[in-house]
Amino acid sequence: MNENKADMRQHLRVQWQRLALLLAVLLALWLCFRLFSSILLPFVVAAGLAYFLDPMVMRMERAGIRRTFGTLLVLLAFGVALILFVLLLYPVIAAQAAAFITNLPTYIQTVQADFAKMMQDLQHRLPYSLRIKLQDFASTQANTLVSYAGKAAGNIIGSGFAVVNVLTLLVVTPIVTFYFLRDWPGIIQHVDNWLPRPYEGLIRAQALEVNKILSAWIRGQAICCLALAAIYATGLTIIGLDLGLIVGLAAGLLSFIPYVGTVLGGITAILLSLSQHSGWDGIIAVLVVFAIGQGLNDYVIQPRFLGDRVGLSAVWVIFALFAGGAAFGFLGIMLAVPVTATLGVIARFWLRRYLQSPLYLDAPPG
C-alpha cells in the first residue's frame, strides 16, 4: 500500500514537473515574441517560405541533386517568377494609377456635387429643428476632425522608418530562407531528438496531424486567394473601373481573412465608381463582379481546393487573425493560423482522451 502511494506521489511529481516545464517554455516564447516582435518578421517569413518550398527541394534531393544546390535553384526560380509577375503587372498598374491621378480633380468635383445634392435633398426632408442641431454638431466637431486628421498625418509621416523595415525584409528574408531551407531536415531532426522519449510517438503523431492540416490550408487558401484576385481584377477592369486591377488584386489577396477582402474591396470599388460617374450603373456592375467572385469561391473554388479537411472553420480563422494582429501586429497575423491549427489538434486530442476516460464513461458510485 505504501509503495502504491509512493509511486502515485512520484507520478504526480513528474506530471507537475512536466507541466511546469511546458508553462516555462510557453512563457519564454511569449516573452521572446513580446521583446523581439519588431525584428522577428523576416525570420518568420523566411521560416514560412522554407516550410512552403521544402517539398520541392525534397523532390530534387530524391532526384539526386544535392540539397544546397537544389535550395539555390528553387529560391532562384521562386524569385524569378515573383519578379516576372511584378514586371508583367507593372505597366497596367502604372497606367491605371496615372489615369486615376490625371482624373482626380474631376473625381473630386463629381463627389462634391453628388454630396452637395445629397445634403440638399436631406435638408429638405428633415425637420427644421433637427437640421439646426446637425449644423451645430458639424460646426463644433470640425476642429476635432481637423485635429484628428493632423495627428493621423503626423503618424503616417513619423512612420517613415517602416521603409527601413521593408528594406530589411527584402534583404534579410532571402538569406535566412536559404539557410532555413538548406538545413530544414537537420532542424526537424534536432527537434525530434529533443522530444521526451516516453511520448515521442504521441507527439510526433500530433505534429504530423498539424503539418497535414497546415499544409492543406496554406495550399488551398493560396489557390482561393489567387483565383479571387484574378476574378476581381478581370471583372473590375472589364467594367472600366479606374484602379480596378489594383483593387481586384488587393481584394483577392486579402481574402485569406474570410470575406474581409471581398467587403473592403467592394466598398473601395463602389467609392471609386461613384467618383468616376454618378448613377447606379457603376455600383450595380461592381456588385455583380463581387457577387460572381464570392459565389464562385463559396460553391466552386473553396469546396474543390480547401473543403472541410483542414479542420479550421472561418470563425476561428477570423478570430485568430484579429487576435494575433491585436497581440503582435503583422507578425501575429502571420503566426495566427499555424498556432490555431496546433491548438486545434491538441484540443481534439485531449477531447478524444477525455471521451475515452473513466471521468466521462464511469457512472457515479452508489
DSSP codes joined into one string, 118-134: HHHHHHHHS-HHHHHHH
CA gap 265, 244 in Å, rounded: 10
Q: Which residue has the higher pLDDT, 173 or 119?
A: 173
Percent of the chain with pLDDT over 90: 14
Gap between the Cα atoms of 71 and 50, Å rounded? 9
Q: Is the pTM of this model over 0.75?
A: no
pLDDT above 70 as % of the chain:
77
Amino acid identity at 185:
P
Which pLDDT belongs to residue 4? 63
Average model confidence (pLDDT) for the chain? 79
What CA–CA distance (Å, rounded) separates 273 from 241? 6
Query: Average pLDDT in the 80-85 region?
Result: 87
Predicted local confidence at residue 157, as pLDDT: 41
DSSP letter for 196, please. Answer: -
Tens of pLDDT, residues 148-196: 545 544 544 444 444 446 667 778 889 999 999 999 989 888 888 888 7
Kindly state the cell numbers that stand for 228: 479571387
Tell me the CB-side half-sphere exposure of residue 55, using CA atoms within 13 A.
6
Contact predicate 265/247, CB 8 Å: yes
Answer whether 257's CB lies under 8 Å from 317's CB: yes
Query: Could you tell me the maximum CA-CA distance found in the chain, to the nearest angstrom?
Result: 91
Distances (CA, A) of 193 to 180, 196, 201, 204, 230: 18, 8, 12, 11, 45
pLDDT value, residue 161: 43
In whole angstroms, what is the distance from residue 114 CA to residue 130 CA? 22
- Give the pLDDT confidence of 199-230 residue by residue, as tens digits: 788 888 888 888 888 888 888 888 889 999 99
Q: What is the pLDDT, as a whole number, of residue 289?
A: 93
When pLDDT is averaged across residues 287-294 and rounded to a whole number, the result is 92
pLDDT digits (tens, 9 = 90+) for 322-359: 888 887 777 788 788 888 888 888 888 888 888 887 77
Q: Which amino acid is at 291?
A: A
Give the Cα-Cα-Cα angle 303, 334, 76 (nearest 5 degrees). 90
